[in-house]
Amino acid sequence: MRIIVSMLALAATAAYAQTTPSFFTDKVYPLLEAARCRACHARDGVASATRLHFPEQDASSSHIQAFGLSLAGLVDRATPSNSLLLAKPSNRVRHTGGPLVRPGSEEEKLLAQWVLYLARAAPESLAPAQPERTAGPTQLVRRLTHSQYNNTVRDLLGDYSKPAQRFPAEDYVDGFKNQLRHQGMPPLLVETYSAAAERLAQNAFRAGDVNKLIPCAPAAVSDASCRDQFLKAFGKRAFRRPLHDAEMARYAAAFTAQAQTTGKFLEGARVVVEAMLQSPKFLFHTESGPGARSNGYAAASRLSYLLWDTMPDRELLESAERGDLLTASGRERAARRMLDSPMAAQALDEFFNQWLRLERVANASKEGRRFPEFTPEMAAAMVEETRRLLHHLVWSDRSFMELFTASYGFLSADLAALYGFPAPPGQFDLLAFPAGARRAGLLGHASILTANAGPLETSPTARGIFVREQLLCQHVPPPPPNVNSNLPEATKEKPLGRRQRLAAHVENAACSSCHRLMDPIGLGLESFDAIGRWREKETLQIENRKIELPLEVAGEIAGLANSEFNDAAGLGRILAATPGCQECIVRQLFRYAFGRTDTAADQPAIQSLTASFRASGFRLKELLVGLARSPELVRGFVHNESER
């Protein structure tokens, strides 16, 4: 190895005279991109905790050049051939992602040439790269999610039929269903909105005005005064702000035409309700109304859909009218009131369900003969355990990081039996786990272990991806195209266990860089089978024969110091104490709250929210209040916000 390194040094020295700062942009940066270094060393990559962060994908050439100069921190000026910038990509010094630049290759020679340039450059010319100044993302118009649609028609019309359950399914993008850049209006969805509006409007008046939508008693079919009272009152609630004059005129004309044609006042109201439910002003929730206070209504809408997952109530609309919600202190007062409502718990459930992908538990397929305990009732109990722990932490104002370390749970009798624990006093009562239990917190929940496993076997890779992406906010890049992801089959002659079979991922150069970062996490949870039951041995079913193998359950979070563990309790303790996990909770809630993934421009806001979250003792309610206070909530329509 010393001979190879010396030859590299000689080649780099010979080429040094031709090296300039643009050499990095033209020669070195492309080879690092080709080696897929960015996939891990990005702001949200699995190596985000290291010193090496690549610039954004669309960075300018000047910023890329500045990034190249900033790599001087990874160069040994006294002995350039010993530099981490050279030794890590080639795996001469252990690299978690494995070798990405082949030792002795032309690519390594180019990298060595840049290392030598950095080693000999004047220190004052090597200022660290500064992030490019980028404007925050524009707040785009957001469509109601299916959950928000159901809740809104419930509160607007008193209709509990949940029509959006029959709409086209929503896709997960960046971890959630509400990411605004991917909220299209395909023809099929437009048709279902139209059909739902017609049905909802008919039901609203089928038995008369039973839900008191009309605030007056019409003296006649042509009672314009009562008509206008209805339009103003219902329109303000449906559009979450007062109607413009032009809107009033348009809906009044539609109302009058239908009422006179049918001779029924309620028929005029029905047509208006149907029309408003199909309007973009109802289906989307970034509003601006008439008058100087109009921006307050947009703030009310965003606040309500964040904390209640539904339309604003009368008190919130009155706060909007006064302009209270245009200040951080005004939004905080409103948020604290709203968090005391039962609707806040229901709304937060929607976030938890999407963040943790809890619907995958009910949809999980398990082999019936191997796992007869896994019934629809058991799946529901698994999700209920997780839901109740989350509620306990939030609404009892406990540290949310207890999510990973809780040595107690809320179990049904059947779930306790699955865990090998004594039955709780009552169904889903709080149960302290027995001393020495290896199960603790979220990673010990059967819901998470079941959702991230296969029908027959565990999946260390899936469990590792879950921890990386959902709990550390690290994006795991997809496998290269045309890579064979099949593992060797266990046979009677070679009854390989899961760990031995997964070794194929590490041996395959195309797979190893990512699987080194995922598989070791899941392997530390191998004592839990595919439905989250504790096991001492791994059982293989080969040709109708059961073979039991000893389990090796050592795991680690590669790239994180002192992160070795061998059960859910150990992994939970590591995550709870990891700043990256603490920030990830903030980041996930930020993405959900604002309907978009975060950008570099959002990092100061996220860091500020994380600091406040930490200072509060990790109280999630305080984080929600912080989000309500955040300028992000009113970005796009409030400038120089007053902090009264």
Q: What is the DSSP string of 400-417?
A: GGGGGT-SEEEE-HHHHH
Q: What is the pLDDT of residue 133?
A: 54
Q: Is residue 123 classed as helix, strand or coil in its secondary structure? A: helix
Query: Is 356:386 a contact under the CB 8 Å cutoff?
Result: yes
Per the model's pLDDT, the better-predicted residue between 74 and 358 turns out to be 358
- What's the sign of the alpha-carbon dihedral 14, 17, 21, 25? negative
What predicted TM-score, i.e. pTM, was given to this entire model?
A: 0.86
Please give the average per-residue pLDDT across 573-602, as a whole number: 93
Instruction: Calculate the CA dihedral of residues 125, 128, 133, 134 and round it to 10 degrees.
Output: 130
Please give the average per-residue pLDDT across 275-297, as a whole number: 76
Q: What is the pLDDT of residue 644?
A: 39
Query: Is 546:415 a contact under the CB 8 Å cutoff?
Result: no
Per the model's pLDDT, the better-predicted residue between 549 and 301 turns out to be 301
Residue 618 per-residue DSSP state: S
Between 4-8, 21-25, 252-256, 605-609, the lowest mean confidence (pLDDT) is in 4-8
Residue 513 per-residue DSSP state: H
Task: Please give the Cα distance from 413 to 94 (Å, whole number).
Answer: 48
Q: What is the pLDDT of residue 128?
A: 57
Digit-coded pLDDT (tens) for 381-397: 999 999 999 999 999 99
- Hey, what are 434's tokens? 């027995």
Query: Is 269:211 a contact under the CB 8 Å cutoff?
Result: no
Assess whether pLDDT exceeds 90 at residue 47. Answer: no
Digit-coded pLDDT (tens) for 448-460: 999 999 998 899 9
Task: Please give the Cα distance from 440 to 581 (Å, whole number).
Answer: 17
Assess whether pLDDT exceeds 50 at residue 1. Answer: no
The mean pLDDT of the chain is: 86
Per the model's pLDDT, the better-predicted residue between 183 and 277 turns out to be 277
pLDDT category at 207 given cuts 50, 70, 90 is: very high
Between 45-59, 345-359, 544-558, 610-624, the lowest mean confidence (pLDDT) is in 45-59
Please state whether beta strands 545-550 and 537-542 pair in parallel, antiparallel, or not at all (unpaired): antiparallel
Assess whether pLDDT exceeds 70 at residue 267. Answer: yes
Task: Please give the Cα distance from 199 to 193 (Å, whole number).
Answer: 10
Task: Please give the Cα distance from 111 to 80 (Å, whole number).
Answer: 11
H helices within 509-602, ranges in order? 509-523, 568-577, 579-594
Please give the average per-residue pLDDT across 398-408, as a whole number: 97
Q: Which residues contact 293 (CB under 8 A, 6 or more apart)?
A: 320, 321, 322, 323
Instruction: Calculate the CA dihedral of residues 248, 254, 260, 264 and round it to 10 degrees.
Output: -90
Q: Is residue 546 classed as helix, strand or coil in its secondary structure? A: strand
Query: Is 155:310 a contact under the CB 8 Å cutoff?
Result: yes
Q: Which residues contact 604 (CB under 8 A, 6 or more apart)?
A: none
Cα 434 off chain centre by: 33
Assess whether pLDDT exceeds 90 at residue 25. Answer: no
Between 75-89, 204-218, 301-315, the lowest mean confidence (pLDDT) is in 75-89
Assess whether pLDDT exceeds 90 at residue 82. Answer: no
Assess whether pLDDT exceeds 70 at residue 639. Answer: no
Assess whether pLDDT exceeds 80 at residue 521. Answer: yes
Digit-coded pLDDT (tens) for 535-583: 998 877 777 778 778 888 889 998 888 999 999 999 999 999 999 999 9
Cα 342 off chain centre by: 24
Task: Please give the Cα distance from 88 to 100 (Å, whole number).
Answer: 9
Digit-coded pLDDT (tens) for 126-170: 765 555 555 555 556 789 999 999 999 999 999 999 999 999 999
Phi, psi angles (nearest 5°) of residue 213: -75, -25
CA distances from 427 to 362, 414, 416 (A): 20, 9, 10
Q: What is the pLDDT of residue 524?
A: 94
Q: What is the pLDDT of residue 165?
A: 95
pLDDT category at 499 given cuts 50, 70, 90 is: confident
Q: Is residue 539 classed as helix, strand or coil in its secondary structure? A: strand
Instruction: Calculate the CA dihedral of residues 210, 214, 219, 224 and round it to 10 degrees.
Output: -150
Q: What is the pLDDT of residue 55?
A: 83
Q: Give the side-chain half-sphere CA count within 13 A for 392.
A: 18
Digit-coded pLDDT (tens) for 416-429: 999 999 999 999 99
- Hey, what are 487's tokens? 């593992």
